[in-house]
Chain A
Amino acid sequence: DAGVTQTPRHEVAEKGQTIILKCEPVSGHNDLFWYRQTKIQGLELLSYFRSKSLMEDGGAFKDRFKAEMLNSSFSTLKIQPTEPKDSAVYLCASSHWGLQDTQYFGPGTRLLVL
């Protein structure tokens, strides 16, 4: 079975640019999560979808971060406009409904904003 896939694996952006990160969850999973991981803050939730419906939208990130789930097998995270403080690893995870704590994570996208 294919795990969670994320593209691109690495992204370099100039301040003010728009970038779009992509995620394909594990087939059959109902829940999808976007996180940002940094050494200082650890894992921060950006968005949480259940069966394509947005359930949780990390308050502090609403401004410039927008996650969408157009179908059950594909999600995007748009950051617009990017700022240097957005440099981090962005992780996507998915799980079965009812087993949301057993999350399967993708490899992440390492974003560097100059």
Chain B
Amino acid sequence: DAKTTQPDSMESTEGETVHLPCSHATISGNEYIYWYRQVPLQGPEYVTHGLQQNTTNSMAFLAIASDRKSSTLILTHVSLRDAAVYHCILRVAGGNTGYQNFYFGKGTSLTVIP
């Protein structure tokens, strides 16, 4: 069962900043928020993850609400290469937790207009 809710699709223009929302109202205290993206004919690509604090890396900024019930992936200066389906998923992280299945729901399909 998906524990996250995302819009089906969003659109942006090259060079703009896009905010991809994700709702996870039933998140548990030990669950991390992960973002992956996937383009056709390729495997999923790790984007970022976080627990409580906002995080940033070369790909994106992840803003996590103070109550952790929602998060927003922020992509700045989007390019055509950022067009993909973005998946927000919850996972318990840590080496001793054993394997957990990935549930990739429909995600948000991001279209980037030149």
Binding site for B on A (CB under 8 A): 4, 35, 42-45, 48, 55-56, 91, 93, 97-108, 110
Contact pick for B99, options A43, A56, A97, A105, CB 8 Å: A56
How long is the Cα–Cα vector from A87 to B105 in the complex, in angstroms?
Answer: 20
Residues of chain A within 8 A of B61, CB atoms compared: none
A98 touches B94 (CB 8 A): yes
Contact pick for B95, options A56, A97, A104, CB 8 Å: A97
Contact pick for B93, options A101, A104, A108, CB 8 Å: A101
Tell me the dominant secondary structure on chain B's binding face: loop
Count A-B contacts at CB 8 Å: 55
B32 touches A101 (CB 8 A): yes
B99 touches A107 (CB 8 A): no
Residues of chain A within 8 A of B99, CB atoms compared: 45, 48, 55-56, 100
A42 touches B43 (CB 8 A): no
Assuming the contacts A42-B104, A43-B103, A45-B99, asked whether A101 and B41 have C-beta atoms less than 8 A apart, the reply is no
Q: Can you add 19 more A-B contacts, CB < 8 Å, to A43-B104, A99-B95?
A: A4-B43, A56-B99, A93-B43, A99-B93, A100-B97, A100-B99, A101-B32, A101-B91, A101-B93, A102-B34, A102-B46, A103-B44, A103-B46, A104-B46, A105-B44, A107-B43, A108-B41, A108-B42, A110-B41
Number of interface residues of B (CB under 8 A): 22
Tell me the dominant secondary structure on chain A's binding face: strand
Residues of chain A within 8 A of B8, CB atoms compared: none
- Asked if B11 is an interface residue, CB under 8 A from chain A, the answer is no
**Nearest B residue (CB) for A100:** B95
**Nearest B residue (CB) for A108:** B43
How long is the Cα–Cα vector from A93 to B104 in the complex, in angstroms?
Answer: 15
B95 touches A42 (CB 8 A): no
B46 touches A42 (CB 8 A): no
Residues of chain B within 8 A of A44, CB atoms compared: 101
